[in-house]
Amino acid sequence: RRSIRRFRKQPLTFEQFSQMLWACQGIIDYVTGKRVAPSAGATYPLEVFAVVGEKCVEKVEAGVYHYIPSDHAVEKILDGDVRRELAAAALHQEFIAEAPMSIVIAAEYERTTGWYGERGIRYVHFEVGHVGQNIHLQAVALGLGTVMIGAFHDDKVAFVLNLPKKLHPLYIAPVGVPA
């Protein structure tokens, strides 16, 4: 695993797109609802979003998508290519705009702090770390590259993605074929 910040101008396949999202929050046991990343008390505070560029993922239009683990599906929440705006919100890290897609992980802290109080904040951060590692490992397994970005203006990222106020962005992971 290594951090990749340079990407080829090559679209991702639909299968790569799908598998990367599954690696974040995919369900591994439909009876219990358990997912690929552990979650304190199975509170699952994380929400996964994909920012996709124009003609950057086969069969997927440019836009922002919300991943729905129960259906292993996405719902489009914004039309258009917002990669430049996302890069600007992330302190102008231009490689974010150059990656075919970025995965954004956001948290609804109350899902976990409602059970665990203040300590729940720590548990949410553990969980996003587990997801970040899954993203890295899945990318490598698919011949892709990524890097975990935490340097961004939370409010600007939330604005670009039109996130509800209860969701707080924690990670951005640009994904693509390494250059």
Q: What digits encode the pLDDT tens for the residues 117-147?
A: 999 999 999 999 999 999 999 999 999 999 9
- Domain of 123 in residue numbering reads as 14-176
Convert 81-92 to b/e letters by CB count within 10 Å (16 or more is b): bbbebbbbbbee
Residue 41 lies in a domain: yes
User: Domain containing 61 — which CATH number?
Assistant: 3.40.109.10
Residue 8 lies in a domain: no
Residue 9 lies in a domain: no
User: What total of structural domains would you count in the chain?
Assistant: 1
29-68 pLDDT, tens digit per residue, is 999 999 999 999 999 999 999 999 999 999 999 999 999 9
Residue 27 lies in a domain: yes
Residue 3 lies in a domain: no
